[in-house]
Structure 1
Amino acid sequence: MSIYIIIFIFGAVVGSFLNVVIYRLPRGESVVFPSSHCPNCNAKLKPWHNIPIVSWLMLRGKCAFCGEKISYQYPLVELLSGSIAFIIFLKMGLTWIALGITVVFLVLLTLSIIDFYYKMVPDSLNLLALTLAVATAGSFEMFQYNITNALLFAGGFALLRFYVSYYLFNKIKKQSPNIKQASWIRNYNTIPTYVEAMGEGDIMIAATMGALLGVLYLTLRSGYTWKACMDRSVKNHPESSGLKHA
């Protein structure tokens, strides 16, 4: 069996654990104890119920005990985790740097799904991703390069956040004159959606991506950040939907 197939399987196993983290961490529960169980009937899962991807297919997406549907998220995260590990090691070879970068991307995957469901970014995972992103350097010069890119992109993203907050406030205030003064630090109560467009956690994620990919590459993608922020800020608010075309 190819070593890269083994890496894919190991990545999928890690993805199975990430599903536990995604479910339990936002709820303040331990990710270790108790052992895996159905959240609906609390029945303890058997070892063959925890085989990544395969178990979900064999159970046809339902709990073996109560028949409750199991979210597509579980096999999808396992498949993505295995694929991330496979691709990174295939491109970079069997190195410690490849391992570190794989872990960073798996943590970012976890953060993305938690943010999607709960609109929050746990600091513990964010700090882990940033630390590993900076530490994945093969030399002292590369270490300095990673730190520089992390700081530059975090600073640039913070300025972008300030500008977006100011821009949205002035646009929306024209439609809602009684709205409170915007704060660039906590701007989610200044727009009718009551959804934070960009938070402090996003700045740390920007630092992580800067350390991994470099400022020059990410600068080319900054336009997508602006568009995503604008779309998220005016989502579910018909009165301000015109901002997309302002």
Structure 2
Amino acid sequence: MQSSARPSPVASIMRFLVLSVVSAGLIVACGHDVPSRLAGVVDSSKSPTRIMVFGGNRSCKPDGHNKLSPLTTDLARNITGMINRMRASGADLEIMLACFTGPGEVLLSYNFSHELETETPEGLVARGVKYADPDARLILIGHSYGGWTAMTVAEEVARKSARSGSVVAGLVTIDPISRKNCTYTSWSNCVTAPADFTEERLEFLRHASKYWANFFQRKTPWLHSSRISQAHFNKELDATHFNIDMHQHLWRHVELLLHDRLTP
């Protein structure tokens, strides 16, 4: 992310979105490869939105108390400001943050609480499915193993839902890597889109998601995802697997996507 004393383009766009109806000209100015269905200010009368953010393997970082925490992942740092701005605009948002400390443990935080809970990677999927209130709009964001987790949770929620059509309001996968197939003993499955997702499963996920944005990179030759044709949007970023979740274009897109999901 670039640092500057001046307000960023994203911050300026956010203020405009909160205060007024977005014009077609503004949408064009933001770029042709970002969501184009922004319609106006946040509608606080709508049902609540639940956002799940899944960091990748070993994405947890020590916080000020020298404890590993999902609050210090790059994903959490980037999304905190977005969530606060949306809440200030009247949006009813709840959020679950998760990060993998290693192969066998996950840490969770609900609504940015410093009271953390531990879980297994398998249990994380079950937690996500349970957290997905059927009356709430659901947005899932994940990087690496977390991207695969977001896809898995979205699929499970859709299969269990009594509703038809798009059950997931927004899905953002950031260089998603299969936790089942990509292991330290099976590197061949670490250089493709999540290998355990068949074409049939990917098609199901496309129809279950109102909007699915997939970001990937190829600069880390032994660990990368790829374009997923079933996603509604694909973008290869000039980044490595380990810093792609900090890419400016990615977070501009996510910010516009979240507003798109929460506008009339």
Tell whether the structures are fold-level matches, with TM greater than 0.5. no
Greater fraction helix? 1
Greater fraction strand? 2
Structure of greater relative contact order (alpha carbons < 8 Å, 6+ residues apart): 2
- In the superposition, the TM-score normalised over structure 1's length comes to 0.28
- In the superposition, the TM-score normalised over structure 2's length comes to 0.26
Structure (1 or 2) with the larger CA radius of gyration: 1
